[in-house]
Amino acid sequence: MRHANRDTDHLNTLRQYFAQNRRIPSYQRIADLLGFASRAAAVKFMGRMEAEGFVVRTVDDDAWMPARRFFEHPLAQATVQAGQPAVAIDVSAEPFLFDDYLVKKPADTVVVPVQGDSMIEAGIFEGDLAVVERTASAKLGSFVVAQVEDRFTLKELVKVDGTHALKAHNRRYPLIRPKGAWHIFGVMVGLVRRYQRY
C-alpha cells in the first residue's frame, strides 16, 4: 500500500468507525476523524483506498461503501503452539478474509446459532455460530443440520445397522433414528465463537 504506515493506520481507524456505525462518513468527517488538515486530504486518501480496492462508490455515486478488501485481516506467518511456548508470532502483510476461508458457496451458506448442549463433546457449544452450507446430501461423519419432525437439529450423520441416524456428541443424549420423513438441510463447514464480549 502506498503511504503504507499512515494509510494503514488511517484505514484501521476507518474500519473501527464502520464497525461502530455501519457506514463510511463524509469527507469532512473523515478529515476530522483521521486528523487531516483539510477535506481535500480526505478526498485524496479515499482515492488511494479506492485504487487499492478497499472502498467503492455507491451506484448513485453519492457515498462510499466498503469493498472486499476492507474486511481483510493480517494472517500470521507462524502457527501458535497450544503446548510449549514458541517464538513470537510474526504478523505478515498477507491478507486473510474469513469469508474466503469459511464460505465456498455464498448463495448456499447460512449462519445458524447453536442452542443446547448435545454437541459439547465435539467442541460445539451453545452460543456458537455454525456456518452451514445448504445441501440435501452429506457424507457419513459430517456434522449436519437436519430437519426431523418439523424441528432442526445439529448432529453427526452416521449409519447404524444399515440405516442413517443422527448422533449427538453428549453421552446424555440418545441416537436419533428418524422413523418418519426427515431430510438434511445442510452440512456444517465451519464454526465461529467469540471468547471476549464487549
Residue 196 burial (CB count, 10 A):
4
CATH number at residue 184: 2.10.109.10
The last residue of one of the domains, among 20, 49, 71, is: 71
Are residue 67 and residue 142 in the same domain, yes or no?
Answer: no
User: Of the listed 38, 104, 142, 155, which one is catalytic?
Assistant: 155
45 band by pLDDT with thresholds 50, 70 and 90: very high
167 bridge partner residues: 156
pLDDT score of 75: 73
End residue of a domain, out of 46, 71, 96 = 71
Domain count, the chain: 2
Q: Whole-model pTM?
A: 0.69
User: Residue 176 has what DSSP assignment?
Assistant: B
Domain that includes residue 156, residue range: 106-192
CA count, 13 A, side-chain hemisphere, 148: 15
155 in catalytic set: yes
Active-site option among 118, 142, 159, 179: 118
The reply to whether 118 belongs to the active site is yes
Express each pLDDT in 127-142 by its tens digit: 999 999 999 999 999 9
Instruction: Check whether residue 133 and residue 58 sit in a common domain.
Output: no
Asked whether residue 159 is domain-assigned, the answer is yes
CATH code, domain carrying 9: 1.10.10.10
Does residue 173 belong to any structural domain of this protein? yes
Do 187 and 117 share a domain, yes or no? Answer: yes
| pLDDT band, very low/low/confident/very high, at 149 (cuts 50, 70, 90) | confident
